[in-house]
C-alpha cells in the first residue's frame, strides 16, 4: 500500500491523486448500482456493531485513501441498509438515480453556499428554474414559487411559520405567551412532522386538533368545519389547515377540493402535504386526487421520495412567497448586499442561513429523464403495485387492508385460525423474518388497530422478477409461523 502523499502545497490531496481515486469511486458506484440487488437489503446486525468495529478517535497522521476506501467497502457498506435496492419496499421506496448522483458530486465540488444571491447566483437561480419546471410538470398555477429544503419536515415547519405570521402577526414581536391559543387542524392520519412543527412553533401539543377520517382514512370536511366553529366559539384562534395527498400510513387522499373552501371561509392558511404522492400530479389519470390543491397557500413535494433524486431534496411551494419571507427575513448588517432588494436571497425563506446547491442534482434528473421519462416510470410503479395487489387478493389467507391509490399497498397475512392479537404478532414476526433474510425490506403500519405490512414500490430498478422473488419470501415466511 502506498503511503499517502503529503507533499501537495495546498495540504489537500494532489490533483492526480484526486483523479485516480475519483475514477475508482465512480467505478465503484457504477458496479454498486449494477449489482445492488445481490446485496442483503438490510444488514443482519445488532446496534453498535459498526461503532465498536471502528477506532474511537481520528488517526493522528494521514492515512491513504486506499485504506479509507477499503474500510468503506468492508465495514461501512455491509452495515448499510440499501435504499437503492430494488427490493426495498419499506416506508416510501425511492431512488438515487445516476444523473442525480452525478449532480450531487458536482455540487460537492462547487461547495456553493446560497445564502444570498451574490454568494451563489447559479445555486439561487437554478433553484428558481427547477422549482418552476416541477411546478409546470405538476400543473400548478404560475403564481406558485418554490424553494428547496432538506426534508418535508422542514418544509411543513416553514409553511406553518408563514401561516403563524399571516394569522398571528403580533407573534413576531411578542411571541405567543399570554395570547389566546392558536391552532392547526389536520387529520388523525397526518404525518408526525405536523405535530413537531406545531410544538416547535410554540402552539404546543394542544395546538394541533386531529380531525376524524372516513372509512377510507380521508379527512372528513364536516368534522373540520365543526372543529373550526367550536374552537372559534371557545376563543381559540385557527391558524392553518393541513391536508395530505398521500398519507404516510396508507397513502389516503384528503378531499382538498372540499377542504379548501372551508379553510378560505375561516380565513386560515391551507398547507397541502404531498411529500410522497406529489409527483403523481404529472399523470393526467391521477388528476382527481389533486383537485383543489391549487387553492392552497403552500404545498410540499419531495423529489427525494418519488422523483429519482438523491437525499435530500424537498420542494416547498408558496403562492405568496412574500408571506414566507415575512416569517423569516431578518438581515444583519454583514449580510446586506447591493442586490438585497432585486435578487432572491434564499436565506429569507427558512431557518438556515447556509444552503446546499440542491437544485443541481434535480436539474440533472429532470433533464436526463425528461417529463415523459418520469411519467412513464411512475406509471410503471403503479402497474407493478397492481400486480402485487393481484397476488395478495388471489392468494387464500392474504388480505389488503386499505385502499391503494398510488404505489404503496397495505396488506397482511390473515390465516383464519388466528384472532386479531395473534394476527398482529404473526405479521410482525413474518416481516422480521423477511427483513432479517435480506431478500426484501418492509415496514409496517397500524390500520384501524390492525398491523399491516407496507409494500411500497418506488425504485427504478424494481422489476416483476424482483417482486416474484419477494412474494415467494413472504409466502415462505408466512408458512413458517
Ligand atoms: C415522508 C413524509 C413526510 C416527511 O418527509 P421528510 O422529508 O422525511 O421530512 C411528511 N409527510 C408525508 C406525507 C410524508 O410521506
CATH number at residue 343: 3.40.640.10
Is residue 312 assigned to a domain? Answer: yes
Report the atom number in ligand 1 closest to the C-alpha of 314.
7
* Cβ 276 under 6 angstroms from ligand 1: yes
Residue nearest to atom 2 of ligand 1 (CA): 275
In a mutational test of the pocket of ligand 1, which residue from 151, 312, 314 has the highest number of ligand atoms less than 8 Å from its CB? 151
Please, are residues 252 and 217 in contact by the beta-carbon 8 Å criterion?
Answer: yes
For residue 108, how far is its CA from the centre of ligand 1 (angstroms)? 25
* Cβ 193 under 6 angstroms from ligand 1: yes
* Cβ 42 under 6 angstroms from ligand 1: no
Q: Are residues 227 and 283 in the same domain?
A: yes
* Cβ 171 under 6 angstroms from ligand 1: no
The pLDDT tens digits for 33-45 are: 999 999 999 999 9
The pLDDT tens digits for 179-189 are: 889 999 999 99
The pLDDT tens digits for 73-121 are: 999 999 999 999 999 999 999 999 999 999 999 999 999 999 999 999 9
Q: Are residues 221 and 275 in the same domain?
A: yes
The model's confidence at residue 4, banded by pLDDT at 50, 70 and 90, is low
Q: How high is the pLDDT of residue 177?
A: 84
* Cβ 250 under 6 angstroms from ligand 1: no
- Distance between first and last Cα of the chain: 50
* Cβ 186 under 6 angstroms from ligand 1: no
Q: State the CATH number of the domain containing residue 374.
A: 3.90.1150.170
Question: Domain boundary residue among 294, 322, 356?
Answer: 356
* Cβ 191 under 6 angstroms from ligand 1: yes
Q: How high is the pLDDT of residue 6?
A: 58
Domain, as residue range, for 440: 367-479
Is residue 6 assigned to a domain? Answer: no
Is residue 341 assigned to a domain? Answer: yes
d(CA 123, CA 356): 8
Please, are residues 298 and 145 in contact by the beta-carbon 8 Å criterion?
Answer: no
* Cβ 244 under 6 angstroms from ligand 1: yes
In a mutational test of the pocket of ligand 1, which residue from 94, 193, 456 has the highest number of ligand atoms less than 8 Å from its CB? 193
Is residue 193 assigned to a domain? Answer: yes
Q: Are residues 120 and 191 in the same domain?
A: yes
**Mean pLDDT of the 250-259 span:** 98
Q: What is the mean pLDDT of the chain?
A: 95
Report the atom number in ligand 1 closest to the C-alpha of 150.
7
DSSP 2: P
The yes-or-no verdict on residue 1 having pLDDT over 70 is: no
The yes-or-no verdict on residue 277 having pLDDT over 90 is: yes
Q: Are residues 177 and 297 in the same domain?
A: yes
Q: How high is the pLDDT of residue 358?
A: 98
Is residue 405 assigned to a domain? Answer: yes
Q: Are residues 345 and 374 in the same domain?
A: no
Identify the burial level of 347 via C-beta atoms within 10 angstroms of its C-beta, where 0-12 means exposed, 13-18 middle and 19 or more buried.
buried
Q: How high is the pLDDT of residue 329?
A: 85
In a mutational test of the pocket of ligand 1, which residue from 187, 190, 275, 312 has the highest number of ligand atoms less than 8 Å from its CB? 275
Is residue 56 assigned to a domain? Answer: no
The yes-or-no verdict on residue 334 having pLDDT over 90 is: no
Report the atom number in ligand 1 closest to the C-alpha of 244.
13
Among candidate residues 457, 434, 440, 450, the one with its CA nearest the CA of residue 386: 457
Q: Are residues 201 and 153 in the same domain?
A: yes
| Domains in the chain, number | 2
Q: Are residues 194 and 244 in the same domain?
A: yes
Q: Which residue has the cell 446586506?
A: 336
Q: Are residues 394 and 429 in the same domain?
A: yes
The yes-or-no verdict on residue 3 having pLDDT over 80 is: no
Report the atom number in ligand 1 closest to the C-alpha of 248.
15
The set of residues, in sequence order, having a beta carbon less than 8 Å from that of 173 and lying 6+ positions away, is none
Q: How high is the pLDDT of residue 5?
A: 52
The yes-or-no verdict on residue 254 having pLDDT over 70 is: yes
Q: How high is the pLDDT of residue 413?
A: 98
Residue nearest to atom 4 of ligand 1 (CA): 152
β-sheet bridge partners, residue 186 = 210, 242
Is residue 194 assigned to a domain? Answer: yes
Using the Cα atoms of residue 386, residue 387, residue 390 and residue 391 in order, give the sign of their dihedral. negative
For residue 256, how far is its CA from the centre of ligand 1 (angstroms)? 18
Question: Domain boundary residue among 298, 323, 356?
Answer: 356
The yes-or-no verdict on residue 178 having pLDDT over 90 is: no
The pLDDT tens digits for 131-146 are: 999 999 999 999 999 9
Q: 210 φ, ψ to 5°?
A: -85, 120
Q: Are residues 295 and 314 in the same domain?
A: yes
Is residue 297 assigned to a domain? Answer: yes
Q: Are residues 213 and 350 in the same domain?
A: yes
Question: Domain boundary residue among 298, 331, 356?
Answer: 356
Please, are residues 42 and 431 in contact by the beta-carbon 8 Å criterion?
Answer: no
The pLDDT tens digits for 51-62 are: 999 999 999 999
* Cβ 302 under 6 angstroms from ligand 1: yes
* Cβ 151 under 6 angstroms from ligand 1: yes
The yes-or-no verdict on residue 361 having pLDDT over 70 is: yes
The model's confidence at residue 13, banded by pLDDT at 50, 70 and 90, is very high
Report the atom number in ligand 1 closest to the C-alpha of 193.
10
Q: Are residues 180 and 295 in the same domain?
A: yes
Q: Are residues 352 and 371 in the same domain?
A: no
Amino acid at each position: 500500500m502506498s503511503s499517502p502523499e503529503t507533499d501537495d502545497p495546498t495540504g489537500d490531496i494532489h490533483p492526480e491523486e484526486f483523479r485516480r481515486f475519483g475514477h475508482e469511486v465512480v467505478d465503484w458506484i457504477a458496479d454498486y448500482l449494477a449489482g445492488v440487488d445481490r446485496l442483503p437489503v438490510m444488514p443482519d446486525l445488532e446496534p453498535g456493531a459498526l461503532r465498536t468495529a471502528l477506532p474511537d478517535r481520528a488517526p493522528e497522521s494521514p492515512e491513504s485513501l486506499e485504506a479509507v476506501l477499503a474500510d468503506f467497502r468492508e465495514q461501512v457498506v455491509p452495515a448499510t441498509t440499501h435504499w437503492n435496492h430494488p427490493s426495498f419496499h419499506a416506508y416510501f421506496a425511492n431512488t438515487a438515480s445516476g444523473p442525480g448522483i452525478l449532480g450531487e458530486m458536482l455540487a460537492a465540488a462547487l461547495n456553493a453556499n446560497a445564502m444570498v444571491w451574490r454568494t451563489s447566483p447559479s445555486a439561487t437561480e437554478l433553484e428558481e428554474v427547477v422549482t418552476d419546471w416541477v411546478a409546470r410538470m405538476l400543473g400548478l398555477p404560475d403564481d406558485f414559487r418554490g424553494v428547496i429544503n432538506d426534508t418535508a419536515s422542514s418544509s411543513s415547519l416553514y409553511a406553518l411559520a408563514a401561516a403563524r405570521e399571516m394569522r398571528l402577526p403580533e407573534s413576531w414581536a411578542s411571541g405567543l405567551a399570554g395570547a389566546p391559543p392558536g391552532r392547526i387542524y389536520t387529520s388523525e392520519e397526518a404525518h408526525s412532522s405536523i405535530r413537531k412543527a406545531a410544538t416547535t412553533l410554540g402552539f404546543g401539543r394542544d395546538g394541533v386538533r386531529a380531525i376524524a377520517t372516513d372509512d377510507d382514512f380521508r379527512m372528513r370536511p364536516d368534522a373540520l368545519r365543526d372543529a373550526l366553529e367550536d374552537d372559534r366559539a371557545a376563543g381559540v384562534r385557527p391558524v392553518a389547515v393541513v391536508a395530505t395527498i398521500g398519507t404516510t400510513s396508507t397513502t389516503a387522499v384528503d378531499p382538498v377540493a372540499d377542504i379548501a373552501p372551508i379553510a378560505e371561509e375561516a380565513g386560515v392558511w391551507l398547507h397541502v402535504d404531498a411529500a410522497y404522492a406529489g409527483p403523481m400530479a404529472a399523470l393526467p389519470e391521477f388528476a382527481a386526487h389533486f383537485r383543489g390543491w391549487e387553492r392552497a397557500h403552500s404545498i410540499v413535494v419531495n423529489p427525494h421520495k418519488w422523483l429519482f433524486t438523491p437525499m435530500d431534496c424537498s420542494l416547498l411551494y408558496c403562492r405568496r412567497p412574500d408571506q414566507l419571507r415575512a416569517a423569516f427575513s431578518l438581515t444583519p448588517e454583514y449580510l446586506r448586499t447591493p442586490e438585497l432588494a432585486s435578487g432572491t436571497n434564499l436565506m429569507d425563506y427558512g431557518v438556515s442561513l447556509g444552503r446546499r446547491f440542491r437544485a443541481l442534482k434535480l436539474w440533472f434528473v429532470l433533464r436526463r429523464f425528461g417529463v415523459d421519462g418520469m411519467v412513464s416510470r411512475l406509471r410503471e410503479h403503479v402497474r407493478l403495485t397492481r400486480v402485487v395487489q393481484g397476488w395478495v387478493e388471489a392468494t387464500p389467507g392474504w388480505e389488503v387492508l386499505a385502499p391503494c391509490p398510488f404505489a404503496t399497498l397495505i396488506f397482511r397475512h390473515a390465516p383464519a385460525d388466528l384472532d386479531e392479537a395473534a394476527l398482529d404478532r404473526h405479521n410482525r414476526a413474518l416481516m422480521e423474518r423477511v427483513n432479517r433474510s435480506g431478500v426484501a425490506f418492509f415496514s409496517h403500519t397500524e390500520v384501524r388497530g390492525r398491523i399491516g405490512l407496507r409494500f411500497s414500490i418506488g425504485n427504478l430498478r424494481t422489476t416483476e422478477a424482483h417482486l416474484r422473488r419477494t412474494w415467494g419470501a413472504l409466502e415462505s415466511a408466512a408458512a413458517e409461523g
